[in-house]
Structure 1
């Protein structure tokens, strides 16, 4: 028998309201159970009773897990308020509005607020704060205007409740207006208000305003420092976040758990933060330990993240998901799967994010069966209905050219958000089926879904494959009309499209119109110059990107090596290849090797090319040997070409490309019987020799009202 039930049984002989009130404070039994027992004892509750009851519901340990049940009970409380006439008390109704808002029942809270005969500024504050916390930003602002119209004087709490609603770039003007209102009302010196303003400005990407407010604060507290550290971290100024933390220590403030988590979000050195966590005694704080595990995992220190996870008693899905994603990014799919299985062994149900972490790591064709197994798990667990998982599966099947499976998944999704359309369109392009991608785009427009920058970039890539310059130009026009920023991947895709569709002058003009091109954009223009044999312009761009402080990557060097290939610059090609490895620590891929082998071969340096292949750190594939065979055609090296053809036949006998190369080599030296023999072998082997394809582009484009509606008809003839 519980303490509460024993006490209530004693009250039945002598009911006493104040003793029931003491039970609400004690918290040893459910507040609603106590309230029902109070009614059974024929004790008449008053306004104070209802205030205690609502407060007890808000502080209940099961509050976060029983919102629907509590919502029903909140409506029952409201009925009792009406029945007993207690609804006339402002503070009781305000408490009930607060309960509804915390449960997410905004319409109930609003209805109750509208029924209130008398309101005060606290009632308005609770309503504004509730709408803000539930993500109804414009409603929160609308009710702030209501406060002013009702001639109530907003206080500090009103402003602080409202500022989170303005924490996005679209509402920065409103945020500044509220800031000005706060200063005019004499609230500008309050540290709590300044902290809220610092946070608001940082979320609106106005870090200068955050810094100015912080510097002008006379009395900074731990929350102030935490807010500024978080602001730097959110804006990507990780070094400044660390400096701010050091200044905080110099000012004599002791870091809190929030300080540690803000430092971790600022991508701090995990080992250093780990030391502070131990030093400050936060090893028992589950949130801090979880953040530390995620930080180790994010920075690729996966084994350390796993060791930390095993050592501390806190076992949660967030930590395991971070470890799973980290293993997947490193290509260690076996360890990722092991961690995924661990979640089920710990009776932790994996969510969509954990499953996606594994799916992203499946990149090798031999692991396709594993992907199918996880697809089965997604169906069995019901996660396949999650948009995130469906998109991950579409990307998985597209990655391995299983486009029919990807499209089947796509069409099974009833309500397709933009991200799902983008996954399907991008998947078709990656699989070399750009015509299907363009058809999907037409259907997307028919469904009333507007494209974003990712959609446009994928379609531009498809235009490159098909040579659809006209469609690419229409997409460019759509970007300009809708003020889509021509930066990063959108600009890169446009430059790539114009280069590959024969309009290098357009690509060049577009490149120089971009104020701060990223590395991918530089790579695109370098590749464009290389494609057209303008090696000096390619080298000039390579030098300029370094001058701007950008570090070249593997794609940069692929473009530069291609420029050396087209220009026949052997010494320069070898120099760039060496720099890539020794200066930048980049391991060459088979594409880099193939490019350099082709460069050596076309200059007649076959001995050096073969020695280079023999010293390769990875096994050469058909592309490397094919590059050498192509060079044999240029130099008319029949004997070596025949040896290479045999090797290529063993590697991939269905590839018609090397049959064509050998046929061309025999034709150059006039060996027509051998030409006929090679063509006969190609027919017997089922190869098509990369059949010539004529593409007739018939495009109907309706771009009225800033929408793109395209219909494509293409004819293929062999």
Structure 2
């Protein structure tokens, strides 16, 4: 009896049906041949979503097929074995696929390609590259498919040189750039941040297909050029190409306007594609349109964890923790098991002390479901406890982990700095070095912030030396942290040198140098930086205006301060915070313009706090306005502001006009309130003690400069 090949062929899109027919064929004593096995494996490959990757069931099915191949001697057919290797790879059984490949009596280029492609798709780039080198040593000639299969492995910065080498090999071997290879190269260069190379390849393509356009749109989106991604999409339409679901998803990953993309999705009839709808929900959520994202999610029958996680994250970013928790509970009601990303999405949004218990409850949920073993969750919990100064709890989580990758060290060091425990952060860094873990830019930036808190200039300089020796890019947050450290540790000249060495400073870096100039009373330099950042097309934010207003206050420039305050509100539509109001009130008060200052306070959109009233009280002391100062102090005390600085300001006000009895009375009031003025701290750097042989004395503590230099000289 001949095997019913036509029946199997008709059902090859349905793996379970094909397997059922195959079992019936065996039960009927038919003898399947190599074509039967070829169609069966093809059926399983075409519907590989029916098998859970790496599951015992999938392993059993593929193992039974291989057993039948061996039993009937079909393993002599190379193309059948190649298909089986591909099946193993797609199910994630890379070790078994490699063993089957090694057992082949003879391989061809297709077999090599299948294995290389499998390694590349499953995140084993080094194995894919090693296999490619081995293929060349075995005198096999790679084809375009080989190169296209290998290039996704090189789509990361650390393998950029290998990717360029593969590209060069393809050119040297005379392999023409067909659309498949050109698309793979375009994608590879984009993932390695070489957008110029991606653009050049795309422009030189003789034949562009939909995949080519999708790749270029995705390349622009990955590199942060959202406007160019949209322009590329419009050009694609002008060329007469119809977008695919992948086009829309790439456009959404480029952070396009969600309403516009939504309309086009409806127009193209992609509303039935679950992946497109999920991407649209996440786009609405990412851009802050949380209610629209939730409405869209509820309107479509497909309920998945990705959409809900996007909505949870959006609520958390807005600080709407209750709504985020409600969505999290909804996943449980739908029998969708939340993963580590969903859990930390809630934790990241908890910043109000009243929500601390919610974070603890989620910690308990993570323990119960084994999610705390995930490095992502552990880091999220460490950051959560550090945010609320629960350093002991964070350290307990940290030291309980047997494996501590760099990201975990960074979370703990950053958490200590944020909680004002910079000395603990320094000690952790010493332990981290002793464990053989090398710091990255994030570690360095966190430690530099700690140096600002402690005034450790020498340690900051040592960290700067480490950056220079290890070629760490002094850009963005690293450069900003260095500038901030040097300005706050008294070396503005070093801060300036670093700032002007950065090719294209971002807004945060500009803000840092503006604040530095303001701190040193160099208001004209601060104003010059403000003008330059505008010339570069950057839009100032609230931090920028806080810096220039502080500069105006230090320089007594009333007109300039009022003008910047007006520009902030009218031209940029920024709502002033209490800090901005404190600056402007202090500026007016110090100039003796108390009427204008009080008018500003009366017209505030938000309720003035102790900083605003304190700025006015300090101005009264400078201008010797005793009556107004007494009135302000009385109101502050009635409002129960227990700030020792207010007592000091009022005491100084009485002292400057010679009312010594009132000075004594205020000092007594301050002592009765439980304090004697604001606590002050002096910081000094201790030079390491050495003996006559220039050796460190045994009593020297680990935080001395010499120890740090030893730890950072690597």
Say yes or no: does 1:486 pair with 2:471. Answer: no
SS of the aligned residue for 1:92 comes to: helix
Cα distance, 1:376 vs structure 2: 3.1
Q: Please, which of 690, 693, 698 is the counterpart of residue 678 of structure 2? A: 690
Cα distance, 1:656 vs structure 2: 2.6
Say yes or no: does 1:55 pair with 2:42. Answer: yes
| Aligned counterparts of 1:45 and 1:441: Cα–Cα separation in 2 | 65
* Residues 96 and 415 (structure 1), Cα distance of their counterparts in 2 relative to 1, 3 Å cut: same
Structure 1: give runs of 5+ residues left out of the alignment. 1-15, 711-718
Q: After superposition, give the CA deviation of every residue in 1:55-86 in whole Å (9 maximum; x if it has no partner).
A: 34433542135633323443454455445544
Give the corresponding residue for 1:416. 404
| 1:215-364 superposed matches below 5 A | 215-364=203-352
Moved more, 71-80 or 450-459: 71-80
| 1:441-480 superposed matches below 5 A | 441-480=429-468
| Aligned counterparts of 2:358 and 2:428: Cα–Cα separation in 1 | 28
* Residues 366 and 606 (structure 1), Cα distance of their counterparts in 2 relative to 1, 3 Å cut: farther
Give yes or no for contact 1:464–1:496 (8 Å, CA) kept in 2: yes
Give yes or no for contact 1:24–1:34 (8 Å, CA) kept in 2: no
| Aligned counterparts of 1:60 and 1:105: Cα–Cα separation in 2 | 13
Moved more, 218-227 or 654-663: 654-663
Cα distance, 1:661 vs structure 2: 2.6
Give the TM-score of the pair, scaled to structure 1.
0.90
Structure 2: give runs of 5+ residues left out of the alignment. 687-702
Give the corresponding residue for 1:177. 165
| Aligned counterparts of 1:687 and 1:412: Cα–Cα separation in 2 | 40
SS of the aligned residue for 2:252 comes to: helix
| 1:371-450 superposed matches below 5 A | 371-450=359-438
* Residues 633 and 705 (structure 1), Cα distance of their counterparts in 2 relative to 1, 3 Å cut: closer
Cα distance, 1:184 vs structure 2: 4.4
Provide the aligned length of Structure 1 versus Structure 2: 695
| Aligned counterparts of 2:153 and 2:53: Cα–Cα separation in 1 | 26
Give the corresponding residue for 1:12. none
* Residues 479 and 120 (structure 1), Cα distance of their counterparts in 2 relative to 1, 3 Å cut: same
SS of the aligned residue for 1:368 comes to: helix
Q: After superposition, give the CA deviation of every residue in 1:584-636 in whole Å (9 maximum; x if it has no partner).
A: 11111111111111111222222322221121111111111111222222223
Cα distance, 1:537 vs structure 2: 1.0
Give the corresponding residue for 2:610. 622
Give the corresponding residue for 1:94. 82
| Aligned counterparts of 2:321 and 2:196: Cα–Cα separation in 1 | 43
SS of the aligned residue for 2:559 comes to: helix
Q: After superposition, give the CA deviation of every residue in 1:95-139 in whole Å (9 maximum; x if it has no partner).
A: 222122222222222222222221111111111111111222122
| Aligned counterparts of 1:138 and 1:385: Cα–Cα separation in 2 | 27
Moved more, 514-523 or 333-342: 333-342
Cα distance, 1:187 vs structure 2: 3.4
SS of the aligned residue for 2:3 comes to: helix
Q: After superposition, give the CA deviation of every residue in 1:306-336 in whole Å (9 maximum; x if it has no partner).
A: 2222222222221222222222223333333
| 1:74-85 superposed matches below 5 A | 74-85=62-73
| Aligned counterparts of 2:456 and 2:88: Cα–Cα separation in 1 | 56
Cα distance, 1:252 vs structure 2: 1.7
Give the TM-score of the pair, scaled to structure 2.
0.91
* Residues 582 and 692 (structure 1), Cα distance of their counterparts in 2 relative to 1, 3 Å cut: same
Give yes or no for contact 1:602–1:631 (8 Å, CA) kept in 2: yes
Q: Please, which of 149, 153, 161 is the counterpart of residue 149 of structure 2? A: 161
Q: After superposition, give the CA deviation of every residue in 1:247-294 in whole Å (9 maximum; x if it has no partner).
A: 222222211111111111122222221111111111111111111112
* Residues 256 and 513 (structure 1), Cα distance of their counterparts in 2 relative to 1, 3 Å cut: same
Give yes or no for contact 1:317–1:350 (8 Å, CA) kept in 2: yes
Cα distance, 1:577 vs structure 2: 0.8
Q: After superposition, give the CA deviation of every residue in 1:504-537 in whole Å (9 maximum; x if it has no partner).
A: 1111121111111111111111111111111111
* Residues 60 and 476 (structure 1), Cα distance of their counterparts in 2 relative to 1, 3 Å cut: closer
Say yes or no: does 1:708 pair with 2:696. Answer: no
Cα distance, 1:17 vs structure 2: 5.4
Cα distance, 1:88 vs structure 2: 3.2
Give the corresponding residue for 1:207. 195
Give the corresponding residue for 2:3. 18
Q: Please tell me the root mean square deviation across aligned C-alpha atoms, in Å.
A: 2.6
